[in-house]
Structure 1
């Protein structure tokens, strides 16, 4: 067994312990939370090792890295999540391999994703990215739609051919009223999710929490946590 595989085994075990503990503290069942491993900047060889170790959900944030990696790993039983800000000129590529796009934050992107999904003969799961640092009617510093825009955007996704409205995603904001208050931020996301599910009962996925704050996300009720560094290590600098 390679040193890298040993490292990933140990890291995954530590993350699993954290999720189990967080679920126990929150009175939740472990199976209520799905781990998505964020593999951005890491090679396809790491994705293969993760698959061998039972990981089934992986995420990327840049199409230029994700597309060749997904192609190289096409034989693996993986679901690919796209979690980065998505430009419309990358949509056709992303729609060819992503199973879920977690960063839907504007009407034009919905239209582009729908066209690409239909062309590819695929159904794409979509999460509306909520920006808790955005003013009403605006967008967040790291993408996302302000809370007051979620209902309208979700309705567009739900009515678009080739798309499936799965739920919501957020990133703990660095600015605004929720900066440094992850627990309150994720709690607010759950409130928005509850409202969304009143109109779209199947849109029950809530993606929140990363390596530093997964416990707060689990406590709030997140169904999916996106963990990169805690599994794969400190990321190499981007070229």
Structure 2
């Protein structure tokens, strides 16, 4: 169940972003709120859109495509934030503005090859397995520079930055550790690839958003605190 209405929850999250940014001398407008809308009906997305939300993140491809068709009248920026099989890259290449979970060159090549010629380059983030968890997807920090260089060379992709889903941690200080590590990796890539607009850190969710913003997040992925817990 939700604690409040979707517009009320969006407003509450926006206030948290402002407060977090003030605490670390950042501008709230430099942090994009990505509403994680997986499993939510299109009606919920439309309600959020009516309250001013424009960026939505989806994990499940067919569900996302169905929502896109139903919400075709809305000027939504669509982000794909789930794992992607190589046989499903064409739909992501043709229907999304952002792809956050690139972890293999094979996937990146297919996205570039299948991006329609009449669309701008697909914005991509490389997913990093920042904690080295066997259960998590993502490139290792050690292999990141090689993958980043290869993806940056692809013609129909725009390498924007990094994404991570760290292991849960309790205290805010502990939550910051992997986020700071990801920010450090992005700084290294900026030196390695100075011609790329590496301006994006996609990190932080409902439970650790403040720690992520403190550590430099530019996109925070919030689902539960907007739409409530999934059944």
Work out whether the TM-score is over 0.5. Answer: yes
Q: Find the aligned partners of 1:85 and 1:54 in 2 and give their Cα distance.
A: 28
Matched residue of 1:111: which SS? helix
Shift of 1:188: 0.3
- The alpha-carbon distance between structure 1 residues 149 and 120, as it changes in their structure 2 partners (threshold 3 A), is farther
Q: Which residue of 1 aligns with 2:36?
A: 38
Deviation at 1:130, TM superposition (A): 0.8
Residue number among 167, 173, 176 corresponding to 2:161 in the alignment? 167
Contact 1:170 1:208 (C-alpha < 8 Å) held by counterparts: yes
Greater RCO structure (CA 8 Å; 6+ sep): 2
Which whole-Å CA distance do the structure 2 matches of 1:53 and 1:159 have between them? 39
Deviation at 1:120, TM superposition (A): 6.8
Quote the offset at 1:49 in angstroms: 1.1
Q: Which runs of 4+ in 1 moved over 6 A?
A: none
What runs of 5+ residues in structure 2 fail to find an aligned partner?
A: none
How many angstroms apart in 1 are the aligned matches of 2:137 and 2:146? 17
- Is residue 154 of structure 2 the alignment partner of residue 157 of structure 1? no
TM-score, normalisation: structure 2: 0.91
1:123, distance to aligned residue in structure 2 (A): 1.9
> Aligned residue pairs: how many?
224
Residue 144 of structure 1 pairs with residue 138 of structure 2: yes
C-alpha contact (below 8 Å) 2:131/2:178 kept by paired residues: no
Query: Given the two structures, how large is their TM-score scaled by the length of structure 1?
Result: 0.88
CA distance in 2, matches of 1:80, 1:140: 28
Using the alignment, how far apart are the partners of 1:46 and 1:140 within structure 2? 34
Unaligned segments of structure 1, at least 5 residues: none
Q: How far did 1:181 drift? A: 3.2
